[in-house]
């Protein structure tokens, strides 16, 4: 089984005071550390597990600059066979453009299965996987928590709302957007990353993929980014139940809520 996994390098924003950049269209990323997107980490692990059980190859693909090769080296150290970086140059990237660029590069690769993460930890849009499936004309499932290959198909478990799951059968080739928790991603050592430097990592420019100007025109433009306004703290009401209830009713009426 030939598997292509789309991965992304994202900034760590947990427990960090984020700052808006001078153009007010993004956060300042020059002061942030970067890691592989959490959902993508599970996707690459699932691809390697499938390869170990059923044979085949795993190719990791990312859209980004030279610094983003860091996540590709990590994927190679985990067990991927090849890696491909698509250099977007100075083009504006939104989910539509990213899906077009990925599709342009992936179409030339042998594949039975494409894996992505459900969403990216930076923007939380969760759109690239579904858009990529449409660009490649592949059947797809999203929020996948289990994958069981069979002859020419996959049985997949998909997480739904309310704690329920759905089991479906999907024909290959296909695209799956992987949910966290589907497996336990393996530890990657510094020595493993150094050894991975000998594996194949190719670079292609997005402009050389034969895409039209319309393909590379973003459908989403960020006009301004700003932190949410500060609000007043919670109001604590003390007293016996009758007093508390009376005070709550008073507050509700003052807010103009009709009872």
pLDDT digits (tens, 9 = 90+) for 107-162: 989 999 999 999 999 888 899 999 999 999 999 999 999 999 988 999 999 999 88
Asked whether residue 233 carries a pLDDT value surpassing 80, the answer given is no
Asked whether residue 259 carries a pLDDT value surpassing 70, the answer given is no
Q: What pTM does this model have?
A: 0.85
Name the pLDDT band for 68 (thresholds 50, 70, 90).
very high
Asked whether residue 232 carries a pLDDT value surpassing 80, the answer given is no
Question: What is the reported pLDDT for 17?
Answer: 84
- Can you list the domains of the chain with their CATH numbers? 2-208 (3.40.50.620)
What's the gap between Cα 170 and its chain centre? 21
pLDDT digits (tens, 9 = 90+) for 167-178: 999 999 999 999
When mean pLDDT is compared over 21-25, 139-143, 237-241, the highest value belongs to 139-143
Compute the distance between CA of residue 73 and CA of residue 77 in angstroms, rounded to an integer. 6
Write out the E strands in 64-160. Answer: 82-87, 113-117, 140-150, 153-159
Compute the distance between CA of residue 69 and CA of residue 61 in angstroms, rounded to an integer. 10
Compute the distance between CA of residue 102 and CA of residue 88 in angstroms, rounded to an integer. 10
Range scoring the smallest mean pLDDT among 35-44, 170-179, 209-218: 209-218
Residue whose structure tokens are 């809520």: 257
Contact in structure between 46 and 101 (CB atoms under 8 Å): no
């Amino acid at each position: 089984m030939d598997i292509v996994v789309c991965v992304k390098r994202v900034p760590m924003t947990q427990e960090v005071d984020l700052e808006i950049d001078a153009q007010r269209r993004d956060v300042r990323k020059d002061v942030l550390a970067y890691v592989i997107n959490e959902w993508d980490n599970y996707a690459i692990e699932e691809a390697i597990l499938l390869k170990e059980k059923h044979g085949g190859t795993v190719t990791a693909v990312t859209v980004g600059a030279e610094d983003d090769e860091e996540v590709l080296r990590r994927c190679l150290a985990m067990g991927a066979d090849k890696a491909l970086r698509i250099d977007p140059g100075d083009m504006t990237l939104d989910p539509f453009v990213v899906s077009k660029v990925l599709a342009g590069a992936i179409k030339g690769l042998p594949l039975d299965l494409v894996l992505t993460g459900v969403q990216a930890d930076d923007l939380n849009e969760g759109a690239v996987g579904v858009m990529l499936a449409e660009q490649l004309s592949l059947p797809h499932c999203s929020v996948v928590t289990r994958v069981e290959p069979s002859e020419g198909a996959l049985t997949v478990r998909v997480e739904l709302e309310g704690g329920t799951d759905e089991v479906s059968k999907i024909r290959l080739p296909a695209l799956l957007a992987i949910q966290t928790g589907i497996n336990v991603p393996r530890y990657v050592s510094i020595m493993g990353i150094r050894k991975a430097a000998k594996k194949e990592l190719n670079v292609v420019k997005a402009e050389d993929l034969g895409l039209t100007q319309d393909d590379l025109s973003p459908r989403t433009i960020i006009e301004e980014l700003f932190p949410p306004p500060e609000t007043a703290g919670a109001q604590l009401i003390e007293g016996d139940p009758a007093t508390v209830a009376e005070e709550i009713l008073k507050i509700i009426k003052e807010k103009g809520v009709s009872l």
